A and B are shown apart, each in its own frame.
Chain A
Amino acid sequence: MITLGHYLLVSGILFTIGFAGVMLRRNIIIIFMSLELMLNAANLSLVAFSRFRIQANGLPDYNAQVFVFFIITVAAAEVAVGLAIIVALYRARQTTHVEDISSLKF
């Protein structure tokens, strides 16, 4: 029997994977993908919650789904801007590696 907990766990794992990716990978593009993973993990939980909380009118709580909608939009916009920055970086430095962009420090 599938409970709310299962979904939350899956989303949690996904979130963690994403975070691990941010911490472990050095390729900025992949880091960016990992960030997407984290956002979607959040989405999964949200949807799960919305499904779990049946409203009085017997429908799922659509507020959460609206929020998911917003998150997806924001994520998309973020990807656009982020990739633009990355491209600019690549033009300037011919690299997408985090080690290569550590001139500002201390």
Chain B
Amino acid sequence: QAQAYTIGFAVSTLENPFFVTMKDAAEAKAAELGVTLMVLDAQDSAETQASQVEDLITRGVDLMIINPVDSDAIGTSVIACNNASIPVITVTRSSNSGTVVQHLDIDNKEAGKLDAEQLIKDLGGKGKVAILEGFAGSSSAIDREEGFVAALEGSQIEVVASLTANYSREEGATVTEDILQSNPELDAIYAHNDEMALGAVRSVAAAGRSAEIKIYGIDATDDALAAVESGEMAATVQQQPDVQIQIALENAVKYLDGETLEPLVNIPLKLIVKQ
């Protein structure tokens, strides 16, 4: 009877390879489970996402998997689903109001912390680091910053620059160029995602400072894994977006089949460094 299920997946953005991987895995898994999947991309706008959830409710999906753009803003949409008796599973970011049947959490603070710990180890507890920030005001950027900075407490590592590059590889490259100019001494760059880290890799290489500057990212995209393998990046953090959505879809079908679900699933994070 699984064929009959239609599941909606409201994803925050497909302009980021992390979520593209998640979407691809979702489509593969849905085919395997024989459910119809509707994917809607909010392009990082909480307002658009609210409208898209409305559309999914109209469409009468059996269950909705939401990857919220913002944990607060999604509240009204989750409540709307509750009122329409459509069960909701949230992934990556939670909803601060309404009821969801399950939340699959990725702890972004933890990801920042893992990078920080590796960085402290690599630099021997002392040195200068620059930070490339994600979209100003996005919850992932805020958490990844907080986790990282908190973990640096107590070490002698100094944050000498912190600038936004909007999660983009191009801007990561450009902003890194400027950081390199104003910091003749720099030991590491921590980027809120791999795209910016990969941009930094290019600029650092162009400046001929690859040997002295270590670069850290988050997401473990294919390009980043290769960069870690080749030594261009020091580390990245795997959040396993594919595993996350696979679990979400399996649990969705289970729930629709009448099983009850754990309210919270933590997706384990894994720090990737060169073998």
A and B found bound together: no
Residues of A whose CB lies within 8 Å of any CB of B are none
Residues of B whose CB lies within 8 Å of any CB of A are none
